Amino acid sequence: MKSRGSSGIAVVGSGYVGTVVAACMAAIGHEVVGVEINQEKLTKLQSGSSYFYEPGLDERLRAGIEAGLLTFTDDFETAMAGSEIVFLCVDTPPGANGHPDVTNVTAAAKSIGMAMHSPHIIVTKSTVPVGSGNWLTSTIESVLPDDVEPDAFSVVSNPEFLREGSAVNDFLYPERIVLGGDDPMAVRKVAAAYKPILDQTFPGGSPDSRPSLVKTDRSTAETIKYAANAFLATKISFINEIAEICEWVDADIDEVAHAMGLDSRISSKFLQAGVGWGGSCFGKDVEALAATARAHGQEPMILQAAQGVNLHQRHRLVRKLQQHLRPLRGSRVALLGLAFKPNTDDTRDAPAITIARELLERGAIVRAYDPLVKQIPELPNLQTATDAYSLVERADAVVLLTEWDELRDLDFVDVALRMRGDLVIDGRNAFDADRVRAAGLVYEGMGRGVKPRNGKTEPW
């Protein structure tokens, strides 16, 4: 591969991943230019603000801009001229056949290729179908200017493992960085860009917790991303199925999960029973991996089961309400939380949206409150409140669907005085059940059952 020119970094796409990549790469000392073609989003980014909520991100954006290390543009020519490494971070929404829709990746790749006038390394952080490295290479080659040779660039896969709500920390303090490529020099160059993170030598780094560096081929790197997310999703679905069994046999899922997690082979992470996972990654990635299996004649039985259990959890919570509120039609249901998880305003595939829609279809009067999400355009009949206490006024049932800290610590005596009914369903097992019952309310969790437990953590 030919020698490189500029040593800067370009980040194409300024969504949840790209904006974090751009801000954090600037934070560790690189000169970064972010590419965003949406003018409204571009204007916000240029002012040092993201158009979505992510803790700590705006501070990083402003710091990078003020230091002269971070700029944003809609001009690919400018971005390519000032960079050697290009992070491709555009979105890949679910496609009709289960595979990710790569329409936006295709458009971005062609824009990169047409603006390439010197050697570059293209780093894919977009979650693309396994084996997309060759396809991406061919797509870029097909639009290269006449004076640019086909070997002027290499493609390296660098899957992201960022969690919304903690994405900045996840990028700066990862457990591993995965790089997959067929060009050893390109892989070394990308690893060098990550060196301040690998060595934790940037300001605020943690030298005692350096991440592992995994170097492999592109297809393996792409598969690692899918396999990791599919396993975590399956682990959540597994504990949720155990939680339902606990309700039938009068066991307590919290104690079951705690004891399971003490086994180092299992660990306690992702063993929290509830209404299931949501967001833009788990569902899409599980389905994409399942589609890949089917394309090769394999039936993905465990992946299908994980998906089925997750959807079942949402319907199960609605059935809990039906069992207590007879009839459900006309009952007033207050939903605490709309985002798919705390510390984000993202409602993509949020359990709360599925549950709210089903309740509305069944004739319930549904209101909701979320600290960040103020409306759901696809549910115009869903009323929202300005705070949790006004939400529960005259409610027949209160349902926790997102475990925001401010919702965990409600004054249940006040809640009980405001409600018309007395039912509290804890869809995240985040409430202190004894506190809820002490306020005179009926408490039901997911796998916790309805029997009072006397507040002890040891067997009774």
User: How many other CB atoms are found less than 10 A from the CB of residue 146?
Assistant: 4
- Residue 76 CA to residue 166 CA, distance in Å, equals 29
Q: Is 361 exposed, middle or buried (0-12, 13-18, 19+ CB in 10 A)?
A: exposed
Q: Where are the beta strands (DSSP E) in 159-307?
A: 176-180, 212-216
Tell me which of 24, 89, 246, 281 is the catalytic residue.
281
Query: What would you measure as the largest C-alpha separation in the chain, in angstroms?
Result: 78
Angle between helices 351-361 and 301-324 (to 10 degrees): 50
Query: Quick check: helix, strand or coil at residue 267?
Result: coil
Chain centroid offset of residue 286 CA: 13
Which tokens sit at 335?
């939903």
CA 428 – CA 263 distance, rounded (Å): 23
Q: How far apart are CA 35 and CA 189, in angstroms?
A: 21
CB atoms within 10 A of CB 238: 18
What does the CA dihedral 235, 433, 384, 365 come to, rounded to 10 degrees?
A: 100
Tokens representing 79 are 């971005």
Contact 91, 126 (CB under 8 A): yes
Instruction: Establish whether 89 is a catalytic residue.
Output: no
> What is the Cα–Cα distance from 195 to 246, expressed in whole angstroms?
47
Active site residue ranges: 281
